[in-house]
Amino acid sequence: MKNIFALVDCNNFYVSCERIFNPKLENKPVVVLSNNDGCCVARSNEAKKLGIKMGEPFFKIKDLVEKEGLKVYSSNYELYGDISNRVSETLFTFSPDIEIYSIDEAFVNLKRIYTNSYEDYGRKIRERIFDWVNIPVSIGISPTKTLSKVANQFVKKDKSFGGVLSLINKSEEEINELLKNLDVSDVWGIGRQYSKKLYAENIKSAYDFKYSNPKFIQKIMTINGLKTQNELKGVSCIPLEYETPDKKGICSSRSFGKLTSSFKELNEAVSTYTTTAAEKLRSQNSKCKKITIFIRTNHFRTNDKQYANSKSYNFLEPTSYTPDLIKASKFLLKQIFKENYNYQKVGVILTEIINENEIQNSLFNIDTLQYKNNKKDLIISKVDEINKSLGNNSIIFAANGIKKEWKMKSEKRSDRFTTNLNELLKISN
């Protein structure tokens, strides 16, 4: 069976999430800022028309708030994460063959779907996501993931496609016409570094790339470049990845609201991120064997002394017990912390993650029950329960600090409408 990939991409995702609960943002210029309210990470079409660029620092566009009625929001990751899950769940009503590629993108393999027109089927997907979750999406459909990405980019640029473009019944010439109009750096998997080298060889468009000498492509881009080239030719080389994020590492890190050189503040931050990461770990019923802490200064501040370091610790037994993880994180931080540096970022990475069931299977003996009833697991599950029913941070770990002077700025965050009972949308009637 031939693959048929639909790339479903949420339009201006964070802005669209804000609009679900705030109809007044419809047709208005809206941006969402990164962690710390630093720069724009999402823009409504109206904001794009004002000339606001992706990644533009907020201070540069501050005057547009007054002048153009620009609406500005801090990132509300609780909301965006929840809405992203809803979009995925809606997609699963169409096909089980789905790869959640990022918070706002998913590949769906439609090879098992019988339809006269994939374009119509794409429209059905699009309508359902909009009806159920109010998120507008763009869909590109083709025999390869890379071409679906291409199709999707054109859907986004050109309203006349009505949100869906299928290349399934398009001729080679028609597809080439699209590829001629696409910069090689905009091809999925090529990126800025490689495109510089390709430009130098006069390979400028996706079309140029498609018909370049494969030996040359492999030489500068390894086998992956060859895969991309074949995918542009319609030969599927990159399959769906079903692997859930469960297996990968869990990372929790943010930049600080202000730079800090205090061990106490760093330690509170590390403990807090460890707590968050451990919660994530437990929510997917897993434990980790390894914890890594990293810290770094702000390398943009060229006048500051620069320092970055990281260190890991291996646990004897897999754990998800927050106090153990905090203890390890403090131990590691002590080793890499140096006085008199202005630190900008710390983070925690949990790796070698194992599902709890796997642990039990491998220890199928008398200890299993003991293991299951492990007091630590019990205590921490109660903490999770309480935090779930009374709201996050009802029970906190003292190591995380109370004041959190290091905490990042998010002054313009909307309510967490879908994940916090105290912040539900209020409807006056």
Interface contacts to other proteins, rule CB under 8 A: 23-24, 26, 85-87, 89-90, 131-134, 244, 246, 284-285, 417-418, 421, 424-429
Residue 265 parent element (H or E): helix 263-283
How far apart (Å, rounded) are the C-alpha atoms in residues 67 and 63? 6
Closer residue to other proteins (CB): 27 or 262: 27
What backbone torsions phi and psi does residue 297 show, to the nearest 5 degrees?
A: -85, 180
Closer residue to other proteins (CB): 363 or 425: 425
Closer residue to other proteins (CB): 132 or 331: 132
State the minimum distance, in angstroms, from the CB of residue 358 to other proteins.
15
What backbone torsions phi and psi does residue 399 show, to the nearest 5 degrees?
A: -60, -25
Q: Which residue has the tokens 């909307």?
A: 414
Closer residue to other proteins (CB): 28 or 233: 28
How far apart (Å, rounded) are the C-alpha atoms in residues 173 and 2? 21
State the minimum distance, in angstroms, from the CB of residue 139 to other proteins.
18
State the minimum distance, in angstroms, from the CB of residue 52 to other proteins.
23
For 95, other C-beta atoms within 10 Å of its C-beta total 15
Residue 316 parent element (H or E): strand 308-319
Closer residue to other proteins (CB): 10 or 266: 10
Closer residue to other proteins (CB): 304 or 415: 415
State the minimum distance, in angstroms, from the CB of residue 380 to other proteins.
16
33 dihedral zone (left: phi>0; alpha: psi -120 to 50; beta): beta
Closest to 318 in 3D by CA, of 268, 371, 370, 366:
371
* Cα angle for residues 416, 417, 423 (degrees, 5° grid): 75
State the minimum distance, in angstroms, from the CB of residue 366 to other proteins.
13
State the minimum distance, in angstroms, from the CB of residue 381 to other proteins.
12
State the minimum distance, in angstroms, from the CB of residue 120 to other proteins.
20
Closer residue to other proteins (CB): 285 or 314: 285
How far apart (Å, rounded) are the C-alpha atoms in residues 364 and 168? 51
| Beta carbons of 144 and 3 less than 8 angstroms apart | yes
